[in-house]
C-alpha cells in the first residue's frame, strides 16, 4: 500500500492513501517540496488548525463555517441527535474537522482530488482527530449513491445541481447546501438557470430571494423523488453564494405537502406589483391589475417559509455561546425576524417611481405595522423590507406624512 511518513510541525504523519497524490509517480514515495509546507502558513479557525497547500480555502467564508457548526449543534441538541456528518467537498477539511473537534461528531471527509485527501489526512493528524474522522477519495455522486449519512453537506465549486439527486438519496436527517452559481439562480444567466434548475429565474430588484427560492424548489423536488420532504430551517443569500439548511423528513404525505409549496411568482416590471400562485400548472393572469402592463412569471420555485424562527433561536444561542463571528449572529437575527412572504420590496426603487426621498428602513417597517400590516426588514438587502401589503398600499403609506 502507498505509504509516506512525514513530519509536519513536529507531528509524524502516516499517509495510507487509497490513491496516491496526483503529483506522485505512483511507484516512488511521494516527495513533497519543503516549500509546499512553508510557503502557505497554516490557518486556525476556532481551535482547528489546517495546512492549506494547494487545496481550496476561502477565509471570507469563516462566518459561514461558524454558522454550520451552530446549526449542527442546534440540530443535534434540539431536533435529532446526529450520528454521521459527511463533508462531501472537503478541500482542506476545515468544515468537517471543525464539526469533529467542536461537536465531537463522527465525520466523513471526502474529496475527489487525491492531493486534497492527502492533505486532509495530514490535517486530521495535526488536530489529533483520527478517532472521529474518516477520509474518502470519491466522486461525490458515487459516494452519495453508495452510502447514507445523517447530515450531508454539499459545498462544491459553482452549482450544487449535479449533486442534488444523490445528496437527497443519501441524507437521512439534514441537508446543508451551498450554491455559488448566483448568476444562473438569479436570472442573470437565464439559460444556465433553466438548464441547471428546470426553473425560469428572473433578474429584478428581489432576484437574490428568487435565487434562494429556485434552489429550494430544486432541493424539494429532488427530495420528493426519494419520498422525502424538505423542511426549511434556514436559507439565505450572502455575498456571492446561497446556503440552505433543510431538515429531511422521510414520509410520502409530507413529500406531497412539500410539493404543494412550489409555485410561481408573477411580477410586473412596470409598477413592481407581484403576486404568486401555488402548483406546477397554475393559471397566471397576463396583465397587471394595478397598471395593466404585462406580468412575467418566474418558477417553479419554493413559495413556503425560508426559515424556522424557533430553530433559529437555538442557532443564535449556539453562535453566542461559541463566540462566533458577529456577521453570522446578525444574519441569523435578521432571518429569524423576517416575516414569511415570498418577495421583498426595495424602498429606493419605489421612492424613485414616486419621486420622494427614501427614509430609514426601520421607519418604513414601523409605518406599515402602524397601519396594521405585517412587515419586517430582510437579510437580502439593507434598503428593502417585506410586507403583506401590496404595492398600491405601500405607495400610499410611503407618500403619507412626510
Ligand X SMILES: C[S@@+](CC[C@H](N)C(=O)[O-])C[C@H]1O[C@@H](n2cnc3c(N)ncnc32)[C@H](O)[C@@H]1O
# residues contacting ligand X (CB under 6 A):
20
Half-sphere exposure in the Cβ direction for 197 (13 Å, CA): 35
Which residue stretch of 52-60, 125-133, 191-199, 238-246 sits at the interface with ligand X (rule: CB under 6 A)?
Answer: 52-60
Residue 44 C-alpha cell reads as: 486556525
Candidates 13, 86, 91, 334; binder of ligand X (CB under 6 A) is: 91
Closer residue to ligand X, CB minimum distance, 73 or 119:
119
Candidates 69, 140, 319, 368; binder of ligand X (CB under 6 A) is: 140
Q: Taking CB under 6 A as the rule, does residue 139 contact ligand X?
A: yes
Half-sphere exposure in the Cβ direction for 65 (13 Å, CA): 23
Q: Taking CB under 6 A as the rule, does residue 242 contact ligand X?
A: no
d(CA 271, CA 394): 12
- Burial call 221-257: b when 16+ CB within 10 Å, e when fewer: bbbbebebbbbbbbbbbbeebbbbbbbbbeeeebbee
Closer residue to ligand X, CB minimum distance, 140 or 255:
140
Closer residue to ligand X, CB minimum distance, 91 or 301:
91
DSSP class per residue in 61-76: GHHHHHHHHHHHHHHH
Residue 36 C-alpha cell reads as: 509546499
Q: Taking CB under 6 A as the rule, does residue 17 contact ligand X?
A: no
Candidates 13, 69, 73, 94; binder of ligand X (CB under 6 A) is: 94
Q: Taking CB under 6 A as the rule, does residue 234 contact ligand X?
A: no
Closer residue to ligand X, CB minimum distance, 181 or 205:
181
Q: Taking CB under 6 A as the rule, does residue 111 contact ligand X?
A: yes
Q: Taking CB under 6 A as the rule, does residue 57 contact ligand X?
A: yes
Which residue stretch of 111-119, 121-129, 167-175, 201-209 sits at the interface with ligand X (rule: CB under 6 A)?
Answer: 111-119
Inter-residue contact 79 to 109 (CB < 8 Å)? no
Candidates 45, 66, 76, 113; binder of ligand X (CB under 6 A) is: 113
Candidates 15, 112, 247, 336; binder of ligand X (CB under 6 A) is: 112
Inter-residue contact 335 to 376 (CB < 8 Å)? no
Which residue stretch of 92-100, 227-235, 240-248, 351-359 sits at the interface with ligand X (rule: CB under 6 A)?
Answer: 92-100
Residue 121 C-alpha cell reads as: 489526512
Q: Taking CB under 6 A as the rule, does residue 99 contact ligand X?
A: no
Q: Taking CB under 6 A as the rule, does residue 323 contact ligand X?
A: no
d(CA 123, CA 92): 7
Residue 123 C-alpha cell reads as: 490535517
d(CA 98, CA 380): 28
**Interface residues toward ligand X, by CB under 6 A:** 55-57, 65, 89-92, 94-95, 110-113, 116, 139-140, 155-157
Amino acid at each position: 500500500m502507498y505509504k509516506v511518513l512525514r513530519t509536519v510541525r513536529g507531528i509524524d504523519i502516516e499517509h495510507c492513501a487509497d490513491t496516491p497524490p496526483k503529483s506522485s509517480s505512483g511507484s516512488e514515495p511521494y516527495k513533497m517540496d519543503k516549500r509546499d509546507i512553508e510557503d502557505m502558513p497554516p490557518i486556525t479557525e476556532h481551535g482547528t488548525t489546517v495546512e492549506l497547500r494547494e487545496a481550496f480555502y476561502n477565509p471570507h467564508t469563516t462566518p459561514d463555517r461558524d454558522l454550520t457548526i451552530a446549526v449542527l449543534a442546534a440540530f443535534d441538541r434540539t431536533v435529532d441527535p446526529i450520528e454521521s456528518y459527511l463533508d462531501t467537498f472537503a478541500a482542506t477539511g476545515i468544515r468537517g474537522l471543525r464539526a469533529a473537534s467542536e461537536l465531537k461528531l463522527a465525520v466523513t471527509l471526502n474529496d475527489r482530488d487525491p492531493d486534497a485527501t492527502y492533505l486532509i489526512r495530514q490535517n486530521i493528524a495535526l488536530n489529533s482527530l483520527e478517532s472521529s474522522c474518516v477520509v474518502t477519495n470519491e466522486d461525490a455522486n458515487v459516494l452519495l449513491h453508495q452510502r447514507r449519512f445523517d447530515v450531508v453537506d454539499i459545498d462544491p465549486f459553482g452549482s450544487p445541481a449535479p449533486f442534488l439527486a444523490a445528496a437527497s438519496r443519501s441524507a437521512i436527517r439534514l441537508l446543508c447546501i451551498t450554491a455559488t452559481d448566483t448568476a444562473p439562480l438569479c436570472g442573470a444567466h437565464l439559460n444556465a438557470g433553466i438548464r441547471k434548475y428546470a426553473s425560469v429565474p428572473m433578474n429584478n430588484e428581489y432576484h437574490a430571494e428568487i435565487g434562494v427560492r429556485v434552489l429550494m424548489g430544486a432541493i424539494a423536488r429532488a427530495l420528493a423523488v426519494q419520498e422525502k420532504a424538505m423542511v426549511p430551517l434556514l436559507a439565505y443569500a450572502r455575498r456571492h453564494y446561497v446556503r440552505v439548511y433543510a431538515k429531511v423528513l422521510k414520509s410520502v404525505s409530507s413529500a406531497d405537502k412539500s410539493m404543494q409549496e412550489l409555485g410561481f411568482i408573477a411580477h410586473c416590471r412596470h409598477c413592481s406589483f407581484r403576486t404568486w400562485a401555488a402548483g406546477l400548472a397554475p393559471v397566471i393572469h397576463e396583465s397587471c391589475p394595478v397598471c395593466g402592463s404585462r406580468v412575467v412569471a418566474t418558477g417553479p420555485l419554493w413559495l413556503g417559509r425560508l426559515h424556522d424562527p424557533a430553530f433559529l433561536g437555538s442557532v443564535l444561542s449556539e453562535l453566542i455561546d461559541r463566540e462566533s463571528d458577529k456577521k453570522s449572529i446578525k444574519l441569523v437575527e435578521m432571518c429569524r425576524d423576517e416575516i414569511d412572504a415570498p418577495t421583498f420590496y426595495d424602498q429606493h426603487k419605489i421612492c424613485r417611481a414616486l419621486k420622494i426621498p427614501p427614509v430609514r428602513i426601520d421607519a418604513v417597517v414601523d409605518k406599515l405595522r402602524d397601519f396594521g400590516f405585517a412587515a419586517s426588514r430582510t437579510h437580502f438587502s439593507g434598503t428593502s423590507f417585506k410586507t403583506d401589503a401590496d404595492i398600491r398600499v405601500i405607495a400610499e403609506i410611503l407618500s403619507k406624512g412626510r
